[in-house]
Structure 1
């Protein structure tokens, strides 16, 4: 069965976005080996706002080859968008009801794992429904003071078991947890 992996950057003070939605504090080091993570998944789960912003994003024509390749790899994945809007989109399947059943249906398909991309509302929903199999949280060495927190309005306490840590040259620390 596929696993749902929340792979997400967070600030030292626990925010996934700044107060105006900014993510310019996010660091992408070569030693993070993000391309290997992308190869480990064949599906991406988006919230509607994140999908509208990033689901079909194209790198600037002046972007380097690595960035263009990364976005091409992201766009090669199966995309599911969780939204109250049920719209037609040639690049994604929109899911507006029966979240648990639809998620389990996708998890039971053959293939690689699933990246829970976000945004914040979808992540909260998945946390509260206990749908996340792996939490891969990269803590960035910056404090914003305000913004969108990762863990907010939890319906219950989440017990997690640390399964791996990695430290990168930038000072980013990746913590990998599984629910207990």
Structure 2
């Protein structure tokens, strides 16, 4: 069965974005093997705001061939958008109700794993509904002091088991966890 994988950058003090939504602190080093992660998935889950911002993003004409290849790979995936709004979009399927049931059905499909891209409110919903199978949290060596925290409004304790750690040249440490009881 497919797994829902939250692959996310977080600051040392636990924020997924700064107070104004900034993510300019994120580091993308070649030793992080993000291409390998993209090869391991065939589906991306977005919230509507994230989808509208990044779901169809096109690299600038003067972007590197690596960046263009990355976005081409992202856009080759099946896309689902979780939103209160419903709309027709030939590049994505919109889901406005029955999240847990629809996620369970998608996980039963043949294929590769699913990237829970986010945004913050979708991630919070998936955490509360216990829909995340793997947490791949990349801790970046920067502290912001404030911003949007990864874990907020937890209704109960979230216990995780560390299954792997990766350390990169930049000082980013990737922690890969699975939920203990789900």
> Which band: TM-score by shorter chain?
over 0.9
Mapping of residues 1-180 of structure 1, within 5 Å: 1-180=1-180
**Unaligned ranges ≥5, structure 2:** none
Counterpart Cα distance in 2 of 1:163 and 1:44:
23
Counterpart Cα distance in 2 of 1:136 and 1:2:
16
Counterpart Cα distance in 1 of 2:103 and 2:5:
13
Task: Give 1:155 deviation, angstroms.
Answer: 1.1
Q: Secondary structure at the match of 1:68?
A: helix
Counterpart Cα distance in 2 of 1:123 and 1:12:
19
Task: Give 1:125 deviation, angstroms.
Answer: 0.2
User: 1:74-127: CA deviations, max 9, x gaps?
Assistant: 000000000000111111000000001100110000000000000000000000
Runs ≥4 residues deviating over 6 A: none
Between the two proteins, the alignment pairs up a number of residues equal to 180
Counterpart Cα distance in 2 of 1:62 and 1:15:
31
Q: Secondary structure at the match of 2:114?
A: strand
Task: Give 1:159 deviation, angstroms.
Answer: 0.5
TM-score (structure 1 length as normaliser):
0.99
Task: Give 1:174 deviation, angstroms.
Answer: 0.1
TM-score (structure 2 length as normaliser):
0.98
Q: Secondary structure at the match of 2:156?
A: coil
**Unaligned ranges ≥5, structure 1:** none
Counterpart Cα distance in 2 of 1:85 and 1:15:
27
